[in-house]
Amino acid sequence: MALVVARDLVKRFGSLTAVDKVSFSVDRGEVVGFLGPNGAGKSTAMRIISGFMEPTSGQAWIDGHDSHTDPIAARRRLGYLPEGAPAYADMTVGAFLEFIAAMHGMSKAKANARLAELVERVDLAEVWNQRIESLSKGFKRRVAIAQALVHDPDALILDEPTDGLDPIQKYEMRDLIRSIASRKAIIISTHILEEVEAVCTRAIIIAKGRLLADATPAELLARAPSNGTLALALATADPQGAIDILSKHPGVGQVDVVQRVNGVTRIAVRTSKSRPSPAEITSLLGRSNIAVTEFYMERATLDDVFRQITGHGAEN
Amino acid sequence: MREVLVVFRREFAAYFATPVAAVFLIVFLALAAGMTFLVSGFFDRGQADLSGFFFWHPWLFLVLMPAIAMRLWAEERRSGTIEILMTLPVQPWQIVLGKWLAAWAFAALALVLTMPLWITVNVLGSPDNGVILSSYIGSWLMAGAFLALAAAISALTKSQVLAFIGATAVSFLFVMAGFDLVISVVRQWAPGFIVDAVRSMSFFAHFQHITDGVLELPSIVFFVSLIVFCLWLNVRAIEVKKAA
């Protein structure tokens, strides 16, 4: 059995079905990205797996222990960062983490050793004696992460660990997650797609409570709409000739002028799978003495896949 | 029990993390002293006892105990820390007990700070110290019942204000249960044994028995069982909220 298993989780709030038959499992060494629009049911699913909320039906296990019928054993093996990274605002960072360690049954000596190590890792030494309410958002988030790591759990559930962080803090947070990933099963929820590409080995897409995809980022990218866009910069102020030539190619759809500056025109060429190769394009345009100064293919992104899968269309 | 102690320590320290504790203690002492000296006429009565002091406790506690207990759970819900607390590897009853004990210990501190009154009556005369001691114990037990009730109500909401109002309203019924105001309403529709049952719920009457003289066993049993029942309700409230 995998470290974290969810089977047929259902959660209804009155007439609203927040989580609708969600099943998946996460093994040691995996970092699974929980993706979905706001209100998709990500947090609800995480609350159920952590044992904070009871499902309407279905079961969840942490390392073989049911989160609801065997909650103490399950929680010993789980670190959980709730949405919004809550912490006791009137405590100091040190007192808060010592409290968490004590609640995990760690002896004073063991807790001190572990916290000393953790403080280095999560970089909290300079704020150790400060009250949590006085900390910046980045530090608060790190305190909440540290709280989930105090007992060095095998499974980690992190609800939006990088939400509200600046780019450097986001980078550091991802670094931290990557550094512990090999020994743990980690679930992180996010609506930032680049985060999935940066840290996740697998992505699960949820919308309206239903699991719509469960695959590696590469597999998901392969599902991207096949019509890629070529961006070209041409050394001419009048691109009409080039547009006419390119439009004749069977693999080319619409061609748009993006920008005209100082005798250079940038155009965007929508292409299908039978798109012309770079060499073909330069030779076609070369025949009419149009020089291509820049050339790149816009890569399909998880954004496209995400919009497609969650049914928000590929209209843009 | 270790977990209970860990929760207790955190909660008790939390009272002193802000000036609220100091303000509370000052208000309690000022009200208790004001009632004793001004309203009950401590000096004019010419008796070396503290009955004029203890008489006011049910009324003071009616407002002050919900104020101590209102944040216990409501604040956890509002700030989201309840998600951390309830996913730690401890049983809900351990957390419920630890939180209540912290509030009860704080109430004990407030009572201990009124001890100069006890010393004063001993300087001025020769009071029955046994009665005063049993009154203090009875007062503390009654405070525990008010706190357990308020803590259970606090577990139902994320608003401290609602928790306070709800707890005060319910406590008011318990204090007033022995008074004709409540009893006459109950008598109109309920059979005799229910009227008696309601009357026997009166905090005021039970506390009166204790301050009148000896620590009466039925009154002690009443407060202790009410505390146990409310703590059980508190655990249930958390479990029900979890499934909601």
Give chain A positions within 8 Å (CB) of B83.
47, 50, 52, 80, 82-83, 86
Averaged pLDDT, B198-226: 83
Rounded mean pLDDT, A248-276: 83
Interface test with chain B among A76, A90, A98, by most B beta carbons within 10 Å: A90
> pLDDT (tens digit, 9 = 90+) per residue, A163-192?
878 888 888 888 889 989 988 999 999 878
Look at residue A50 in the predicted model and tell me its pLDDT: 95
Q: What sign for the dihedral angle of Cα A26, A28, A33, A34?
A: positive
Average pLDDT over residues A201-220: 90
Instruction: State both tokens at A35.
Output: 């993706």
With residue A242 as reference, give the H or E element that holds it.
helix A240-247
Residue A169: what pLDDT? 85
pLDDT in tens, B80-92: 999 999 999 999 9
Interface contact B1, partner A, CB < 8 A: no
Rounded average pLDDT over B198-202: 83
pLDDT of residue B230: 96
Mean pLDDT value across chain B: 89
**What ipTM, to 2 d.p.?**
0.90
Instruction: Tell me if B87 and A50 make a contact (CB, 8 A cut-off).
Output: yes
Give the CA count within 13 Å in the CB-facing half-sphere of B104: 21
Q: Is A179 exposed, middle or buried (0-12, 13-18, 19+ CB in 10 A)?
A: exposed
Distance CA B49, CA B122 (A): 9
Beta bridge partners of A210: A207
**Of A126-135, A266-275, B125-134, the least confident:** A266-275
What are the DSSP E strand ranges found in A150-245? Answer: 155-159, 185-190, 202-207, 210-215, 229-234
Structure confidence at residue A314 (pLDDT): 38
Q: With CB atoms and an 8 Å threshold, state whether B242 touches A54.
A: yes
Find the residue in A nearest to B18 (Cα): A90
Whole-number Å distance between alpha carbons of A304 and B241: 39
Q: How does pLDDT run across B122-137, given as a tens digit for each residue?
A: 888 888 888 888 899 9
- Judging contacts by C-beta atoms under 8 Å, the chain B residues touching residue A100 are 84, 88
Kindly give, in sequence order, each residue whose CB lies less than 8 Å from that of residue A289, ignoring residues fewer than 6 positions away.
none
Lowest mean pLDDT, pick from A82-91, A197-206, A214-223, B206-215: B206-215
What's the confidence (pLDDT) of residue A298? 76
Contacts for A180 with CB less than 8 Å, ≥ 6 apart = A149, A156, A186
Split at pLDDT 50, 70, 90, the class of A32 is very high
pLDDT recorded at residue A226: 57
Give the one of A76, A87, A89 whose C-beta lies nearest to B89's C-beta: A76
If one compares B225 and A230, the residue with the highest pLDDT of the two is: B225
pLDDT digits (tens, 9 = 90+) for B1-51: 889 999 999 999 999 988 888 898 999 999 988 888 877 777 777 677 788
**Contact criterion met (CB < 8 Å) for A84 and B80:** yes
How large a percentage of chain A has pLDDT more than 90? 50
| Mean predicted confidence (pLDDT) in A82-91 | 93
Helices A108-122 and A137-149: angle between axes, nearest 10 degrees = 140
Contacts of B79 in chain A (CB under 8 A): 86, 88-89
Q: What is the mean pLDDT of chain A?
A: 88
Confidence check: pLDDT of A225 > 70: no
Q: For a pLDDT cut of 90, what percent of chain B falls above it?
A: 54
Kind plus residue range of the DSSP H or E element containing A6: strand A4-13
Q: How confident is the model at residue A315 (pLDDT cuts 50, 70, 90)?
A: very low
**What pLDDT, on the 0 to 100 scale, is given for residue B109?**
95
- Report the amino acid identity of residue B72: L
Write a three-state SS string for chain B: CHHHHHHHHHHHHHHCCCCHHHHHHHHHHHHHHHHHHHHCCCCCCCCCCCHHHHCCHHHHHHHHHHHHHCHHHHHHHHHCHHHHHCCCCCCHHHHHHHHHHHHHHHHHHHHHCCHHHHHHHHHHCCCCHHHHHHHHHHHHHHHHHHHHHHHHHHCCCCCHHHHHHHHHHHHHHHHHCCCHHHHHHHHCCCCHHHHHHHHCCCHHHHHHHHHHCCCCHHHHHHHHHHHHHHHHHHHHHHHHHHHC
* Smallest Cα distance from B110 to chain A, Å: 22
As to burial, measured by CB atoms within 10 angstroms (0-12 exposed, 13-18 middle, 19+ buried), residue B48 is middle
CB atoms within 10 A of CB A261: 9
- In tens, the pLDDT along B170-191 reads 999 888 887 877 788 888 888 8
Q: Of A25-39, A98-112, B25-39, B62-76, where does mean pLDDT reach its minimum?
A: B25-39
Q: Does B75 touch chain A (CB under 8 A)?
A: no
pLDDT band for B215, please (50, 70, 90 cuts). low
Of A52, A78, A102, the CB nearest to B83: A52
Q: CA-nearest residue of chain B to A148?
A: B84
Other C-beta atoms lying within 10 Å of the C-beta of residue B144: 23
At residue A305 the predicted structure's pLDDT band, cuts being 50, 70 and 90, is confident
- Summarize pLDDT for B108-125 with one digit per residue, the tens: 999 999 998 899 888 888
> In chain B, pLDDT over 70 holds for what percent of residues?
98
- Check CB contact of B3 with chain A, cutoff 8 Å: yes
pLDDT exceeds 90 at position A150: yes
* Contact flag B81-A90 (C-beta cutoff 8 Å): no
List CB contacts (< 8 A) between A51 and chain B. Answer: 86-87
Inter-chain contact A47–B14, Cβ cutoff 8 Å? Answer: no
**Residue B138 to residues A155, B167, B217, Cα–Cα distance (Å):** 49, 20, 11
Please tell me the predicted confidence (pLDDT) of residue A313.
45
The answer to whether the CB atoms of A80 and B87 lie below 8 A apart is: yes
DSSP letter assigned to residue A149: H
Partner residue facing B81 (CB), from A53, A80, A87: A87
A87/B2 CB distance under 8 A: no
Distance of CA B99 to the CA centre of its chain: 14
What's the mean pLDDT in A62-66? 95
Sign of the four-CA dihedral B25, B131, B54, B35 = negative
Of the candidates A265, A67, A263, which has an alpha carbon nearest to the alpha carbon of residue A255? A265
